[in-house]
């Protein structure tokens, strides 16, 4: 029998859901949230729950291939993308996926990447000490076949797209990760702020 989920991990996911919901980044049942538990286990939101109102049983465990420990429970549809991050990046301890308006709109307008430069909040990302920096955030076409989409994500990483702990899915949303939930939330909020600024600038042109 699998060990129970740590209460701290479940509460971290529920609290993150409330925080994302308060900012309008996870409308309806959109988005998903996970935490690495160690020993090849991941705690992740179950499918079909509004992330602002995740009940205590709204979080479940899967292995690093996305297989549920309890086959009677259904994880978020994009569990494979979370697990792909954990398999690739040993330091990743939490993953956030949201569907904000700036992310959705800008990803539809972008080519293969969105470049963010000159923002103070770039310092939220690794290796960037000042605002005189830039990141190239990969944008990938969305796909309902998660295994096929994950293979394209990995190809992007192999080509050099792994330098930023995040990426966009066109017309869909954003994935961001960090060593733990506070760092993942910090990076998501920084990224959302900068993308919102980019959207506002486009409106003023």
**Band of pLDDT at residue 97, cut at 50, 70 and 90:** very high
Lowest mean pLDDT segment, chosen from 14-18, 72-76, 127-131, 191-195? 127-131
**Residue bearing the bigger pLDDT, 83 or 130:** 83
Which secondary-structure segment (H or E) carries 41? strand 41-45
Question: Which letter does DSSP use for residue 44 in this model?
Answer: E
**Band of pLDDT at residue 42, cut at 50, 70 and 90:** very high
The whole-model pTM stands at 0.95
Q: Is the pLDDT of residue 1 over 70?
A: no
Q: Which domains does the chain have, with CATH numbers?
A: 7-204 (3.40.225.10)
Question: Which letter does DSSP use for residue 3 in this model?
Answer: P
Mean pLDDT of the region 147-174: 95
Q: Are the beta carbons of 98 and 172 closer than 8 angstroms?
A: no
Mean pLDDT of the region 188-192: 96
Task: Select from 152, 125, 148, 123 the least CA-distant residue to 137.
Answer: 125
**Band of pLDDT at residue 2, cut at 50, 70 and 90:** confident
Q: Which residues of 42-74 are buried (b: 16+ CB within 10 A; e: fewer)?
A: bbbbbbebebbebeeebbbbbeeebebbeeeee
């Amino acid at each position: 029998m699998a060990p129970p989920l740590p209460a701290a991990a479940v509460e971290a996911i529920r609290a993150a859901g409330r925080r994302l919901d308060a900012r309008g980044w996870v409308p309806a049942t959109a988005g998903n949230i996970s935490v690495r538990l160690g020993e090849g286990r991941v705690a992740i939101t179950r499918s079909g729950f509004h992330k602002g109102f995740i009940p205590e049983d709204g979080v479940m465990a899967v292995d690093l291939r996305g297989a549920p420990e309890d086959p009677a429970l259904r994880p978020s549809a994009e569990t494979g993308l979370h697990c792909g991050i954990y398999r690739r990046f040993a330091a990743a301890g939490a993953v956030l996926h949201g569907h904000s308006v700036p992310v959705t709109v800008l990803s539809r307008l972008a080519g293969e990447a969105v470049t963010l430069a000159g923002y103070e909040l770039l310092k939220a990302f690794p290796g960037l000490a000042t605002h005189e920096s830039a990141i190239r955030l990969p944008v990938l076409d969305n796909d309902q076949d998660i295994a096929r989409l994950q293979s394209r994500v990995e190809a992007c990483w192999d080509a050099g797209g792994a330098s930023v702990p995040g990426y966009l899915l066109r017309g869909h949303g954003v994935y961001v990760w960090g060593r733990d939930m506070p760092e993942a939330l910090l990076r998501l909020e920084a990224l959302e702020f900068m993308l919102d600024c980019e959207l506002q600038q486009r409106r003023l042109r």
